[in-house]
A and B are shown apart, each in its own frame.
Chain A
């Protein structure tokens, strides 16, 4: 009955975004052309339509300069216009047909995905970009999001809201890093062993912080969102304190993060090899955990009981399931996962710890979880959506791009808001989430 509905709002947003993109790309390329002509550049094409963005797929593990396996040339403006026209048409369809539910989530995903793609080929107009590297980066950056989303999911499926994932990640990163430093120093070892020990400690630390959250929210029945906030504030204080009082003064022979771990054979496949099989250990763990968690949740006793206590704890209680005990351990397991995500920041990407280095990824992970409707595979889909924003933002910095980098850095956060606003209405959280159980 109402005129402005979710479908119409999303459709209108899509049309506006697409139009803005079209106009912006057109204007930007015209300016670029004028500049290049004025500078007498040989690269300048004859018209705006002459700009081509090349995506290429390199041969894995070959020295730079080796000819790529394949090159996909895309006329920049033509591609942008084509995609935008499609999005506009789909947006118009949403406005005209005004569906209740179906298609909105898909449209939001397509809108976001294609917008990223448009930004990418816009940035590389007249230049080329390594497709394998871009996609591999998407997977790499999705690691903390995927793990964080799983962490959130394990908690929420059992009925406990966990907005403390960010803090668990941060503490995990900090303690894992310290453990690696200290152990490296004790044994004067510079190899991988101390770093792996650090990973273990990160996981355990995440679990301990989670246990605190569980204690506060399950045993003491504090509002779960408050309790999660306590974890976050505590994490900032604790890690900041440790960093300034300890880490910056401490010297250790360990200086390097976890090594690359290309999978023999598989990593040589063009495109697929670098994207999926040439990563560091925690990224593999994340990919495996997503699959394992899906099976665990939907096929095992633990999963069935977890889903039951998050949906109708009373029903589970009456058949003898210890609701609060199970919630406690689920939250702790979530903490382990968040701690592993923390290790990724401090021990896999780099070997260092900075204040606030998790940068809101724990919260974005929750949005990914909601996007995926509380299923592991879906949540990972959400994680990929957000990580493409992040990867794109990092990638585009290498090119001379029209927008200031800060605006690109906003992208993951803006996307999070759009996804939540566009999708959550139809996502149904576990019924008992957020409610302490008391028999």
Chain B
């Protein structure tokens, strides 16, 4: 093995951002035909490293060798020219262009000054046959499901004749079955001699597909592992740097009266397409109903319709028996509904505002924050100090702009604000997306604490593990409908995974 020239070798790459050492003397090699997994939690420096390889950032120190030759990669086209392609987590696809147009973009074939559509079309067909990546060449990318979009992304790289492919968190938006399909394609590519860098934080996947594993923590390589000799537990310890509790501690639920009752709810998305069909569910006081499902199967619309952010086209939403379907968001909030939105930076916070201002974002108009016609700064300020203390928001001051905090602390501001009211229902949508482990643990505990205090909790998460560890009952959404509701005990990863993929099994019990 030592005499093989590595397809890619990285030596002592270091990258600093203001105040942070993102990559600290990272070295590794990538062999031809190998699937090399990079494991690390958020902020471990995986993405920074890949962006350096792909020419999006310049390293402060260190060298990159491709096929034994030292290279400088200034931009993505440099990287592609040297045979290095990358599939980002957020696909770099133009929704309004066709599959073929997306694939040829940047390296178009011309005939008589016009794009040679015929040849492009043939080329795409050929590639798609060769690697078993089936795509409809003339459809608009925006109309395709994410799994197919991902294939377009991979084809795009293959069209450029790359022999190394970086896949950045490729399974984040896939069902377990789709992910397995992707692993098959990865294996196929590797067998044809392509090298693959596979970035993930999911231990199970690493063990399933990788030939070699490198673990990053706080910008450093903390170890390598062989998948045959590792377990999830050993990898997790290496990744986080301590033994971690893999289970959220919680006692049994004591469900009370029905708090939220959704009946036959339907809604349209902003293009007028019906994305939520006839959804019915109930959540009782003191229980967590978890909604599992691949992103984009109507979860967003369900939550928005319940919270009044988007009108429902049909159906009813009742809170403790009261119809709240047509109410404005403010009226719904006032009835004791707390809501952690999925888009922290875009919806949950005003990033330019101070922490104090963000903490009264939905209550500023009520006493004690407003009295008569004016805002009361002292009350707002006291409120903020209190919440910062209680919810352990790590900030120099309550006057710090929310935008300058880390994701975990930003999420804590939202949690603090929403939990500080008297609630009967908590809707938590992707509550721990993209934040550090410490904050995740804190937020999970807080959610369970709310449950135990008798609040009804509706948890929506694209992370199956999160749903499985927090929920007392699990509902699975697929194509805008709830396809099954299972008690936690019956909700195994495999069963829920199949339901998420739209595969109906024998009998599903209605919990």
* Smallest beta-carbon distance B84→chain A, Å: 12
Residue of A nearest to B79 (CB): A318
Contact of A101 among B91, B272, B326 (CB under 8 A): B272
Q: Does B336 contact A (CB under 8 A)?
A: no
A312 touches B95 (CB 8 A): yes
* A97 within 8 A of partner (CB): no
Which residues of the partner chain A approach B113 to less than 8 Å between Cβ atoms?
300
Our pick among A100, A101, A318, A431 for the contact of B76 (Cβ within 8 Å) is A318
User: Do the beta carbons of A314 and B92 come within 8 Å of each other?
Assistant: yes
Inside 8 A of B80's CB, which chain A residues have their CB?
A: 319-320
Interface contact B92-A318, CB-CB below 8 Å? yes
A295: chain B residues within 8 A (beta carbon): 114
| Contact status A316-B106, CB under 8 Å | yes
| A101 contacts across to B, CB distance below 8 A | 272
> A407-439: which residues lie under 8 A (CB-CB) from chain B?
431, 439
Most interface-central of A304, A311, A316 (chain B CB within 10 A): A304
Contact present for B272 and A317 (CB under 8 Å): no
Give the chain B neighbours of A312 by CB distance below 8 A: 92-95
Q: Is the interface of A mostly helix, strand, loop or mixed?
A: helix
**Chain A min CB distance to B263 (Å):** 16
Residue B108 at the A interface, CB < 8 A?
yes
In chain A, positions 303-330 with a C-beta closer than 8 Å to chain B are 304-305, 307-308, 311-312, 314-321
Pick the contact of B56: A2, A307, A431, A439 (CB < 8 A): A439
Which chain B residues border A300 with CB–CB below 8 Å? Answer: 113-115
Cβ of B203 under 8 Å from chain A: no
Which bucket holds chain B's interface residue count? 20 to 34
- Give A325 Cβ to nearest chain B Cβ, in Å: 12
Bound Cα distance from A137 to B317, whole angstroms: 58
**Do the beta carbons of A311 and B272 come within 8 Å of each other?**
no
Residue A404 lies at the interface, judged by CB distance under 8 Å to chain B: no
For residue A403, CB closer than 8 A to chain B, the reply is: no
A299 within 8 A of B: yes
State in angstroms the CA–CA spacing of A315 and B107 once bound together. 13
Chain A residue numbers with a CB within 8 Å of B360 are none
Interface residues of A in 86-116 (CB under 8 A from B): 100-101
Distance of A399 from chain B, by nearest CB (Å): 45
Say whether A39 faces chain B, with CB atoms less than 8 Å apart: no
> Chain B CB within 10 Å — which of A295, A308, A319 has the most?
A319
A248 near B: Cβ within 8 Å? no
- In the complex the two chains form, is B95's CB within 8 Å of A431's CB? yes
The A/B interface has a contact count, at CB < 8 Å, of 75
User: A101: shortest Cβ distance to chain B, in Å?
Assistant: 6
Nearest residue (CB) in B for A301 is: B108
CA distance A320 to B95 in the complex (A): 18
- Cβ of A42 < 8 Å from any Cβ of B? no
C-alpha gap A108/B313 in the complex (Å): 26
* Cα of A316 to Cα of B108 in the assembled complex, Å: 12
B311: A residues at CB distance < 8 A: 1-2
Q: Which of A1, A307, A319, A439 contacts B106 (CB 8 A)?
A: A319
Say yes or no: is B75 at the interface (Cβ < 8 Å to chain A): yes
In the bound complex, CA of A162 to CA of B76 (Å) = 29
Q: Is A308 a contact of B105 with CB atoms below 8 Å?
A: yes
Most chain B CB within a 10 A radius of its CB, from A299, A301, A307: A301
Contact A319 B94 (CB under 8 A): no
CB of B53 within 8 Å of the partner chain: no
A47 to chain B, nearest CB (A): 50
Given contacts A1-B326, A100-B272, A300-B115, contact A319 B95 (CB under 8 A): no
User: How many of chain A's residues have a CB under 8 angstroms from any CB in B?
Assistant: 24
- Residues of B within 8 Å of A321, CB to CB, are 105-106
A311 and B97 contact, CB distance less than 8 A: yes
Residue of A nearest to B56 (CB): A439
CB–CB B108/A315 < 8 A: no
- How many angstroms from the CA of A362 to the CA of B453 in the assembled complex? 62
Q: Is the CB of A318 within 8 A of B108?
A: no
Q: Is the CB of B156 within 8 A of A319?
A: yes
**Is the pair A307, B86 in contact by a Cβ cutoff of 8 Å?**
no
A307 to B86: give the CA distance in the assembly, Å.
22
Contact of A304 with B108 in the complex, beta carbons under 8 Å: yes
Cα A318 to Cα B78 with chains together (Å): 10
A320 adjacent to B77 (CB under 8 Å): yes
Indicate whether B492 reaches chain A with its CB closer than 8 angstroms: no
Contacts A101-B272, A304-B108, A318-B86; is A299 near B114 (CB within 8 Å)? yes
Q: Inside 8 A of A320's CB, which chain B residues have their CB? A: 75-77, 80, 106-107
Query: Closest approach, in angstroms, between the C-beta of A313 and any C-beta of chain B?
Result: 10
Which B residues are CB-close (under 8 A) to A299?
Answer: 114-115
Query: Shortest Cβ distance from B337 into chain A, in angstroms?
Result: 20
List the A side residues contacting B75 at CB < 8 Å: 317, 320
Contacts of A439 in B (CB 8 A): 56
- Chain A 53-68, CB-CB to B under 8 Å as 1, else 0, gives 0000000000000000
Contact indicator A301/B110 (Cβ below 8 Å)? yes
- Indicate which residue in B92, B110, B272 contacts A315 across the interface (CB closer than 8 Å): B92
Cα distance, A319 to B103, chains bound together (Å): 10
Whether a CB of chain A sits under 8 angstroms from the CB of B101 is yes
**What residues of B have a CB within 8 angstroms of the CB of A100 in the complex?**
272
Cβ of A319: which chain B residues have Cβ within 8 Å of it?
A: 76-77, 80, 92, 105-107, 156, 160
Q: Is the CB of A315 within 8 A of B115?
A: no
Q: A301-B110, A320-B77 are in contact. Are A315 and B312 (CB under 8 A)?
A: no
Cα–Cα distance between A426 and B97 once the two chains are bound (Å): 19
Residues of chain A within 8 A of B77, CB atoms compared: 319-320
Which of B110-162 touch A at CB < 8 Å? 110, 113-115, 156, 160
Instruction: Please tell me if the beta carbons of A315 and B94 are within 8 angstroms of each other in the complex.
Output: yes
Tell me the smallest distance from the CB of A372 to a CB of chain B, in Å. Answer: 16
- CA–CA, A314 to B160, complex, Å? 17
Question: Which of B91, B93, B97, B160 touches A307 (beta carbons < 8 Å)?
Answer: B97
User: B177 at interface (Cβ–Cβ under 8 A)?
Assistant: no
Contact residues in A for B95 (Cβ distance below 8 Å) = 311-312, 431
Alpha-carbon distance A299/B112, docked complex (angstroms): 11
Closest chain B CB from A361 CB (angstroms) = 29
- A315 near B105 with CB under 8 A, answer yes
Please, how many angstroms separate the alpha-carbon atoms of A305 and B101 in the complex?
10
A316 and B95 alpha carbons, distance in the complex (Å): 12
With beta carbons under 8 angstroms apart, the residue of B56, B93, B105, B156 that contacts A304 is: B105
Residues of A within 8 Å of B272, CB to CB, are 100-101
**Measured CA separation A371–B288 after assembly (Å):** 49
Pair B326/A305 contact, Cβ less than 8 Å: no
Q: Which of B80, B86, B113, B326 has the most chain A CB atoms inside 10 A of its CB?
A: B113
- Of the listed residues B77, B101, B110, B311, the one surrounded by the most CB atoms of chain A closer than 10 A to its CB is B77
* B54 / chain A contacts, CB cutoff of 8 Å: 318
| Bound form: Cα–Cα A101–B101 in Å | 28
Instruction: Answer yes or no: B96 CB below 8 A from chain A CBs.
Output: yes
Roughly how many angstroms separate A238 CA and B359 CA in the complex, as a whole number?
49
Contact residues in B for A318 (Cβ distance below 8 Å): 54, 76, 86, 88, 92
B104 / chain A contacts, CB cutoff of 8 Å: 304
Residue of B nearest to A295 (CB): B114
- A101-B272, A319-B106 are known; give 8 further A-B pairs, CB within 8 A: A1-B312, A1-B326, A300-B114, A305-B105, A317-B76, A319-B80, A319-B92, A319-B156
Instruction: List the interface of chain B (C-beta within 8 A of A).
Output: 54, 56, 75-77, 80, 86, 88, 91-97, 101-102, 104-108, 110, 113-115, 156, 160, 272, 311-313, 326
Query: Which 5 A-B pairs rank lowest in CB-CB distance, beginning with the nearest?
Result: A320-B77, A319-B106, A315-B92, A318-B76, A312-B94
The 19 sampled A-B contact pairs (Cβ below 8 Å) are: A1-B311, A1-B312, A1-B313, A101-B272, A300-B114, A301-B110, A304-B104, A308-B97, A311-B94, A312-B95, A315-B102, A316-B105, A318-B76, A318-B88, A319-B80, A319-B105, A319-B156, A320-B107, A431-B95
The interface of chain A, by Cβ under 8 A from chain B, is 1-2, 100-101, 295, 299-301, 304-305, 307-308, 311-312, 314-321, 431, 439
